[in-house]
Amino acid sequence: MKAAVLAGLQQPFRVAEVAVPEIGPEEVLIATETCGICRTDLHIQDGLAYIPAFPHVPGHEPAGHIAAVGERVQRLRVGQRVTTHLFLTCGCCRFCRTGHDAQCARVGGIIGVTQHGGFAEYFKAPARNVLPLPDAVSFETGGLVSCGVITAVHAYRRSQVKAQEVAVVVGAGGIGLMLVQLLQHAGLRVVAVSRSEENLGSARSAGASLAISPAAPEAVDRIRTFAGEDGADCAFDCVGTAATMEFAASVLRRMGKLVVIGEEPEHAKLDTIQIAQRELEIIGSRNGSIQDASDALAWLDAGVIQPQIGGRFPLEGLNEALHLMRSGASHGRLILQIRPQR
């Protein structure tokens, strides 16, 4: 089969012929139709996170149809349209038992991150990780459930925001736009923050009441004025740089919540006096549980979440897509079209 192979750190991907994965009795083989491209793929390429064994085939937002099932698999069938939950969990630690399986204490791997994934014509997954796609959900949006969509859903739940509150989404790209949609659907007043005019326009269309650049004159004051009283109830940092985290913290009211989603190797200089005196909460949010994934599919099916697709590339175009993402010129989620659209 064809696969986009990463031979080592800071190397370009090359398309090569590799063996089709062999499945065990409780696994399924999935013929990949599409696979989303994520900033985590850049982090893997750069050696900033999740350094796998090389050569490696990433791709952690895949969707396709089942090509084969192991002998013990009962609830799934060949030909079924599916996506996957990424984390290969133990199922028995305190986190798995309480529905927080993305924090599994004995995680055995992550599909497309530490294990071979969807930048290939086929990949395999444990049957328990496989999620059927609703008929109305396309491969390209269904595959995004594995990371992009589930990340927005889990962050929304972690925040425990309520209707009529004010939420600020810093970084109105793919995940940020989905958060805007969720928050608006839940009855919040939403502020979107981005340096991209295109993303700000998309955020307005997605339901943001205020869309503003952080470089705009008196941006923090304008957000605080919009929020009323002392500032916003909650801010989501979808970028994770020092600048975005500090900006997000600056727009919060007393006892406000900062939800950190983006991951970058910078360290924000947060004012601990302000955190303590104003009793700010800082909440980390990583991917999500298999229940979050199931609910994300339901929200996609209902049209509550509508991911913005920023571009489609063939397998041979992966390096071009990653360059576009690295340059900051991409808008929305980028998709690898592994097989021709039918």
Q: How far apart are CA 308 and CA 226, in angstroms?
A: 26
227 to 165, 178, 215: CA distances (angstroms): 9, 21, 19
Contact present, 260 and 239 (Cβ < 8 Å)? no
- CA end-to-end span of the chain: 20
Instruction: Please report the domains of the chain, with CATH numbers, ordered by start residue.
Output: 2-147+288-337 (3.90.180.10), 153-284 (3.40.50.720)
Dihedrals phi, psi of 316, to nearest 5 degrees = -70, -10
pTM, two decimals, is: 0.92
Q: What is the CA radius of gyration of the chain?
A: 20
Q: What is the pLDDT along the chain (342 residues), one digit of tens a residue?
A: 999 999 999 999 999 999 999 999 999 999 999 999 998 999 999 998 888 889 999 999 999 999 999 999 999 999 999 999 999 999 999 999 999 999 999 999 999 999 999 999 999 999 999 999 999 999 999 999 999 999 999 999 999 999 999 999 999 988 999 999 999 999 999 999 999 999 999 999 999 999 999 999 999 999 999 999 799 999 999 999 999 999 999 999 999 999 999 988 777 788 899 899 999 999 999 999 999 999 999 999 999 999 999 999 999 999 999 999 998 888 789 999 999 876
Non-local CB neighbours of 182 within 8 Å, separated by 6+ positions = 152, 153, 156, 299, 304, 305
Q: Hunting for tokens 């993303």 — which residue is that?
A: 199
DSSP-derived pairing of the beta strands 27-37 and 61-69: antiparallel
| H or E stretch at 234 | strand 232-237
Q: What count of other Cβ atoms lies within 10 Å of the Cβ of residue 41?
A: 29
